[in-house]
C-alpha cells in the first residue's frame, strides 16, 4: 500500500498568541535580540575603534608615509625616479633641484626637506639650508658644478640615492632603520655601520628584561597567592590589602622610592655597609642601570601576577590534596602532580599580562634605567618628542607590535589562550 505525503495544514502548525507560526515568531525574536545586543554594544565598539584601532592604523600609516620631500620638491621627486643610479645626475636634474629649492624657500619649507634627508645622511640639513640660502643669489645655470663646489656631498652617489628613496610618497626606509638596515650607495639593502646599530640591541634588551621580570614575578607571586588562597579569610584579606596597596600609590612615588633605596648612598647600601657585607668604598651601583629597571618594574608589576594566580588557586578544592595524601603521595609529590597543574592557567594568564606590560613600559625605565636600562619604548618616545622623526617612531612601534603578535600566536599554539584563566 503506497504512502502519500501530505502537506501540513494550518491546524497542524503551532501558532503563537498572534496567530503567527511559532518557528517564524522565534526567528523574529532572535533577530530582535541580536539587534538590541548590537545597539547596546555600539558605544563600546566605537570607543575601541577611536581609542585603539584607529591609533594603530594611523601609526602603521605614519611608518610608511613620506610626504616631506615628495610634497615640497615635487618636480625633482617625479623626475629623479627615472635616474638609473649609475652616475651622478646630469645638469637637467640639478636645474630642477634648484628651481624646487627656490620654490620651497619662498614657502619656508626647505627645513622640512633638510630634516627628512638628514634622517638618512647626517649633515644633510646644513647642506640643504646652505644651498637654499645661496640659491637666492644664483638665478641661472649651469648648476651641477656650482652645487658640487658649494658642498662636495652633492657630488656623492649616496646623497642622490638617499634623495631618490626619500622622495617617494611611501617608503620602507623607516622600517629598515628600525632593524638597523639602510639603502647602500647602489640602492641595495645593507646593514647599518656598526656604530649606528642600536635598535636590534634595544629590542633584544626589551624582550629579555621583560622575560626576566615575568619569571621574577612568577617566583614571588606563587607563594603569596598560595598563602592568600589557603589561609583563613581574615588573614587572606589582610594580605590582599597589602598586594593592592601599590595600586593606591602613585607610580611616580613608587619609582622614586626605589631611587632612594637603591642609590649608592641609599638605604640598602647603608645597611650592607653597617652590617659589614661591603666596604664603604665598594658600594654597589643598583640604580640607573638594568638592575634598577628590573627591580622597580618587578615590584610595580607583581600585583598583575598575584591576582590571576590567586583567583585560580581559590577555586581549587582542598579535598584534592587530601585525597592525594590519602592515596599515599607525600606533600611534595601531591603538590607537583595535583596542585601545580591546576594552577598553570593562572600562571599563563599572569605571565602574558606581565610580559606585555613590561615590553611597552616607559616611565620606570626612563627614571631608573640609565644608559643600560632603557627599553625600546624610551627611544620611541625620544623620536616622538625630541628628534621629531615620527616615521621612525611609528616603524619602531610597528615592529614591536608585530613581534608581540608573533609571541602571542606562539603562546597560543604552545599553551592555548583558551586554557588561560583569570579566575
Q: What are phi and psi of 65, to 5 degrees?
A: -70, 135
pLDDT surpassing 60 at residue 153: yes
pLDDT surpassing 90 at residue 396: yes
pLDDT surpassing 70 at residue 420: no
pLDDT, residue 13, reads 66
Closest CA to 313 of 233, 240, 227: 227
SS3 229: helix
pLDDT surpassing 90 at residue 335: no
Residue 131 near residue 150 (C-beta atoms within 8 A): yes
Residue 369 near residue 287 (C-beta atoms within 8 A): no
Q: What is the mean pLDDT of residues 47-57?
A: 89
Q: Which three cell numbers stand for residue 192?
A: 647599518
Residue with the bigger pLDDT between 25 and 349: it is 349
Average pLDDT, the chain: 85
Q: What are phi and psi of 15, to 5 degrees?
A: -115, 155
Residue 199 near residue 178 (C-beta atoms within 8 A): yes
Exposed/middle/buried for residue 212 (C-beta within 10 Å: 0-12, 13-18, 19+)? middle
Lowest mean pLDDT among 3-17, 52-66, 251-265, 400-414: 3-17
Exposure string for 251-265, b = 16+ CB within 10 A, e = fewer: eeeebeebeebbbee
Closest CA to 268 of 301, 292, 238: 292
Q: What is the mean pLDDT of residues 71-87?
A: 88
Q: How confident is the model at residue 37 (pLDDT cuts 50, 70, 90)?
A: confident
CA atoms of 411 and 339, how far apart (whole Å): 22
Share of the chain above pLDDT 70, in %: 94
How much is the pTM?
Answer: 0.82
Exposed/middle/buried for residue 93 (C-beta within 10 Å: 0-12, 13-18, 19+)? buried
DSSP assignment string, 361-420:
--HHHHHH-TTTS--HHHHHHHHHHTS--HHHHHHHHHHHHHHHHHHHHHHHHHT-GGG-
Three-state DSSP string of 3-45:
CCCCCCCCCCCCECCCCCEHHHHHHHHHHHHHHHHHHHHHHHH
Amino acid at each position: 500500500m503506497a504512502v502519500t505525503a501530505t502537506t501540513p495544514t494550518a491546524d497542524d502548525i503551532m501558532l503563537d498568541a498572534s496567530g503567527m507560526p511559532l518557528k517564524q515568531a522565534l526567528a523574529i525574536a532572535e533577530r530582535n535580540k541580536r539587534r538590541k545586543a548590537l545597539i547596546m554594544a555600539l558605544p563600546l565598539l566605537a570607543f575601541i575603534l577611536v581609542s585603539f584601532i584607529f591609533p594603530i592604523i594611523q601609526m602603521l600609516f605614519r611608518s610608511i608615509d613620506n610626504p616631506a620631500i615628495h610634497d615640497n620638491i615635487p618636480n625633482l621627486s617625479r623626475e629623479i625616479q627615472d635616474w638609473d643610479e649609475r652616475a651622478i645626475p646630469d645638469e637637467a636634474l640639478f636645474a630642477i633641484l634648484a628651481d624646487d629649492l627656490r620654490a620651497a624657500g619662498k614657502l619656508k619649507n626647505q627645513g622640512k626637506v633638510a630634516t627628512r634627508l638628514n634622517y638618512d645622511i647626517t649633515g644633510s640639513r646644513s647642506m640643504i639650508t646652505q644651498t637654499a640660502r645661496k640659491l637666492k643669489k644664483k638665478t641661472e645655470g649651469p648648476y651641477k658644478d656650482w652645487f658640487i663646489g658649494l658642498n662636495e656631498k652633492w657630488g656623492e652617489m649616496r646623497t642622490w640615492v638617499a634623495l631618490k628613496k626619500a622622495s617617494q610618497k611611501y617608503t620602507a626606509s623607516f622600517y629598515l632603520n628600525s632593524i638597523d638596515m639602510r639603502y647602500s650607495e647602489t640602492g641595495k639593502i645593507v646593514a647599518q655601520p656598526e656604530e649606528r646599530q642600536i635598535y636590534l640591541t634595544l629590542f633584544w634588551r626589551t624582550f629579555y628584561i621583560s622575560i626576566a621580570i615575568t619569571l621574577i614575578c612568577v617566583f614571588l607571586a606563587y607563594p603569596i597567592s598560595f598563602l592568600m588562597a589557603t589561609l583563613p579569610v581574615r588573614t587572606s584579606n589582610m594580605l590582599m590589602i597589602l598586594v593592592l596597596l601599590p595600586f593606591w600609590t602613585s607610580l611616580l612615588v613608587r619609582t622614586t622610592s626605589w631611587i632612594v633605596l637603591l642609590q649608592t648612598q641609599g638605604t640598602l647600601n647603608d645597611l650592607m655597609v653597617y652590617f659589614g657585607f661591603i666596604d664603604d668604598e665598594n658600594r654597589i651601583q643598583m640604580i640607573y642601570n638594568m638592575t634598577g629597571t628590573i627591580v622597580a618594574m618587578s615590584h610595580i608589576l607583581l600585583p598583575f601576577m598575584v591576582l590571576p594566580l590567586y583567583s585560580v588557586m581559590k577555586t581549587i578544592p582542598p579535598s584534592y590534596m587530601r585525597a592525594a595524601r590519602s592515596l599515599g603521595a607525600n606533600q611534595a609529590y601531591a603538590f607537583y602532580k595535583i596542585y601545580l597543574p591546576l594552577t598553570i592557567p593562572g600562571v599563563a594568564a599572569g605571565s602574558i599580562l606581565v610580559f606585555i606590560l613590561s615590553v611597552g613600559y616607559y616611565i620606570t625605565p626612563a627614571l631608573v634605567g640609565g644608559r643600560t636600562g632603557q627599553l625600546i619604548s624610551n627611544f620611541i618616545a625620544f623620536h616622538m618628542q625630541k628628534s621629531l622623526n615620527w616615521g621612525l617612531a611609528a616603524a619602531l612601534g610597528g615592529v614591536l607590535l608585530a613581534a608581540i603578535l608573533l609571541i602571542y600566536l606562539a603562546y597560543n599554539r604552545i599553551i592555548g589562550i583558551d586554557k588561560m584563566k583569570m579566575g
